[in-house]
Amino acid sequence: MPDLPPVGATGAVCYTQIMRQVEDMIEKVALVKDGFRPIRELANHFLAGHPEDEALALAHALSRSEVHRARMMATILLGRLSVTRPEAVDFLRSDVSHDPDWRTQEMLAMAFDT
pLDDT at 74: 94
pLDDT at 76: 93
pLDDT at 8: 41
Return averaged pLDDT per consecutive 10 residues of the chain, 114 residues in all.
Answer: 41 62 75 77 89 91 87 93 94 94 92 73
pLDDT at 4: 43
Taking the C-alpha atoms of residue 96 and residue 108, their distance in angstroms, rounded to an integer, is 7
- C-alpha distance from residue 25 to each of 10, 48, 61, 77, 98 (Å): 26, 15, 11, 12, 22
Q: How would CATH label the architecture of 15-110?
A: Orthogonal Bundle (1.10)
pLDDT at 10: 39
**Residue type for 105, please?**
Q
**Residue type for 53, please?**
D
pLDDT at 112: 78
